[in-house]
Chains A and B, each alone.
Chain A
Amino acid sequence: MSFLNLTRRGLIQTGAVAGAGLALPTYLRADAHAGYTNAPTGNTVTLGFNVPQTGPYAEEGLDELRAQELAVQHLNGEGDGGMMNTFSSKALKGNGILGKKVTFVTGDTQTKSDAARAAAKSMIEKDGAIMINGGSSSGVAVAVQGLCQEAGVIFMAGLTHSNDTTGKDKKANGFRHFFNAYMSAAALAPVLKSAYGADRRAYHLTADYTWGWTQQESIAAATEAVGWETVNNVLTPLASTDFSSYIAPVLNSGADVLVLNHYGGNMVNSLTNAVQFGLLDKEVNGKKFEIVVPLYSELMAAGAGANVQGVIGSMNWNWQLQDEGSKAFTKSFGEKYGRPPSNSAHTCYVQTLLYADAVERAGTFNPCGVGEALEGFEFDGMGNGPTLYRAEDHQCFKDVLVMKGKENPTNEYDTLEIVEQTPRAQVEYAPDHPMFAGGELGQCNPGA
């Protein structure tokens, strides 16, 4: 057979072998091969937004969904670009992710671990979601994070504040932008000391589940370090609605501070009940009685109404921040939805952009490549100042906000005010800190 005597079949075979040979080195590179779950093949890529759409946190889930939808618009080059204009990384160009138009599917966590896992599984297996983002509970976050690790997709957590999410339950495929209970306590304790003094006796009411336990442990340790005494810690059932029988014993306990390690409906009810019992009007040990709510949310503060006035707590972010990133996001969100974004909306928006940016920088959707791009990533322009995604535990480190219920609100969104923007250095901790001990990040799983 002469060289020029080529048949059509021979040409195709030769071409296929040559093509395969040339492609082999690329295929063998972990960051570029298609051997991972839901590798996008067309000109679109699908993100999975798993938020509570029913149940007690549905309003928070709705706000997360609004923010995620806005992030998708910005990624696709629609709207004003929001934080993409202020983000220190300039990898995102407004042409989707790696040139693929971004679409999304949604799941309903119902704020139940099993329902959240089922929703995430469905989005991954049926809808081909390349990543999962969102949520509004630590129990849910830990459950979905575990599922994403097994399935081989990236999990960008939403509102989850338990130390365990990036502590004993951390996973290589999971990343948390939201702050945690330790950080809240580290930010709050000095402010509490300066506002209420070092000689205080605190009584804790704690929601009886993972978040409550780590929140109580953190705030008790931090306040004891500034001189406070912990008088008692009472665990309250998560399903409680009336906290009067838990608050009544506080009155004669000798405590002069009540710490409510509650979130959501529990926080609204326990704070309302505590104010009804006149705790804030009392004087104990010669000092005015005070209430502390370590974790605030704008939506829940609105639910508690005037009862939050003067009560100190902490937040991951707030729309009143005046940095360029926060202003850009608040403007973009406010103009689209007619309301300022909540801190859970912010974290979900930022997580979506951070994921997209990591894909662009890695040049692949492979979760291991994306994970490598996120690990140790330093960025700015997303609110909260310079931020680090720490490689050792996939926890973001940034400034934390200490908030106080506003005494004279001027409108329905004006419920909280910023007392202090606690610098990142004050809330950092070592990766092997005892409160985060017990888990291993493990190996990244690309799935497929």
Chain B
Amino acid sequence: MDAILLQILNGLDKGSAYALIALGLTLIFGTLGVVNFAHGALFMLGAFCAVTVQKLLSLSTITLDETQKDFLGRPLEIKTPYVESWFGPETGSLIIDWSVPLAILFAIPVMLFIGYVMERGLIKHFYKRPHADQILVTFGLAIVLQEIIKYFYGANPIPTPAPSAFVGSFDFAPLLGLDTSLAYPYWRLVYFGFSTLIIGAVFAFLQFTTFGMVVRAGMADRETVGLLGIDIDKRFSIMFGIAAAVAGLAGVMYAPINSPNYHMGMDFLVLSFVVVVVGGMGSLPGAVLAGFMLGILESLASLNEVKAVLPGIDQIIIYVVAIVILLTRPRGLMGRKGVMEE
């Protein structure tokens, strides 16, 4: 029982990442009709926003310590971060320790800008082109973005730890009256909470603001909204920026979970597309529902008891479920009629 509960927690956590990326993908597809294969790269760029903030906050003055030697026998370079010099050792190290949450403030404008420039500079030229062209150009863009990051940051994973206040895990067992351990890492719980917040904020933005209402109307009938004199293209461009920011924020907060590397976006991309297709192309609630559902199923399939009966099921479960759902519900769980069916 405790193992199942633990895997459900795990699934919610994995599903958070899937749902956030799939939500952004669906936003772009639903508004602009573009199949964006560069969306995983936006997730990766978000994670590297966290790396960048950590590096900026760690910029240091260097002094030589004659009493210690480096690997070549020279005096050891001692680095003192500027923030520690400016704010004192305790406050300075606290600021560096909280670099990942602080990176959210950095990532929002950066990712909005990147998304907006991507859409205006490249993707808008492919609106009326076949989906195959869109896939090719966005996939190419993803590779370019990867290589740029690799050029500046190298190919190795870069450790980007969570604040020390969130190191360790919370044991749910006493709460549930279990006599075994049901410990789950604090930061993963934070990630789940953060994802829920972002998903809620996106839905609230679309549901309760005038801007969101116009966007939803444009998603349903772009031409009619245009005839009303509303510049729907401009709003859709902003939505692309928002989708990029959502992917970026998912990346920032994911950085402490797995050390960021330049190809981490590709690791999530295929899964996220499966999530979008299972959820239903263009359906925002479908993307979120499918994200969490597939995350939980993937985690449960990793249970030793399940693998003992079905060896290797953990590697294929998502694709098996996708096939079954598409066979029984060709438009996905919550897909709308007419989307990608012409």
Contacts and interface: CB of A to CB of B under 8 A. Distances in A.
Whether A associates with B in a native complex is yes
A12 interface: no
Contacts of B158: 303
A220 B314 CA distance: 24
Given A276-B257, A305-B159, A319-B71, A245 B187 contact: no
A384 interface: no
B314 A277 contact: no
A272 B2 contact: no
B157 A276 contact: no
Contacts, number: 121
Nearest to A299: B156
B218 interface: no
Contact of A251 (B14, B183, B299): B183
A43 B304 CA distance: 62
B302 A334 contact: no
Chain A's interface size range is: 35 or more
Contact of A249 (B156, B264, B298, B303): B303
Contact of B161 (A55, A302, A305): A305
B230 interface: no
B281 to A, nearest CB: 25
Given A242-B257, A244-B10, A248-B10, A411 B156 contact: no
B304 A277 contact: no
B259 A272 contact: yes
Per DSSP, chain A at the interface is helix
Contacts of B10: 244-245, 248
Interface string B239-277: 000000000000000000111010110010000000000
B119 interface: no
B259 A305 contact: yes
Interface stretch (A13-21, A127-135, A233-241): A233-241
B3 interface: yes
Given A234-B304, A251-B183, A239 B267 contact: yes
Contacts of A305: 159, 161, 259
Contacts of A330: 71-72
A303 B264 contact: no
Contacts of A198: none
Interface in A330-369: 330-331, 334-335, 340
- With most chain A CB atoms within 10 A of its CB, the pick from B71, B154, B261, B264 is B71
A252 B180 CA distance: 7
A234 B304 CA distance: 8
B258 A242 contact: yes
Given A281-B168, A330-B71, A303 B2 contact: no
Interface in B45-104: 68, 70-72, 76-77
Given A55-B155, A278-B169, A303-B159, A232 B314 contact: no
Given A59-B154, A268-B157, A303-B259, A410 B68 contact: yes
A252 B171 CA distance: 13
Contacts of B169: 276-278
Nearest to B72: A334
A218 interface: no
Nearest to A270: B258
B285 to A, nearest CB: 24
A58 interface: yes
A334 B267 CA distance: 35
A310 B22 CA distance: 39
Interface string A60-84: 0010000000000000000000000
Nearest to A303: B157
Contact of A276 (B188, B304, B315): B188
A57 interface: yes
Nearest to B11: A245
Nearest to B304: A249
Query: Which residue, B157, B161, B257, B303, has most C-beta atoms of chain A within 10 A?
Result: B157
A304 B157 CA distance: 8
A56 B263 contact: yes
A58 B147 CA distance: 12
Nearest to A268: B157
Given A56-B261, A268-B157, A252 B188 contact: no
Contact of A340 (B11, B71, B77, B187): B71
Nearest to B254: A242
Interface in B163-188: 168-169, 180-181, 183-185, 187-188
A303 B259 CA distance: 7
Given A56-B155, A248-B299, 17 more contacts: A58-B155, A59-B155, A232-B304, A244-B10, A244-B299, A245-B10, A245-B314, A246-B302, A251-B183, A277-B169, A278-B169, A303-B259, A305-B259, A306-B159, A335-B72, A340-B71, A411-B77
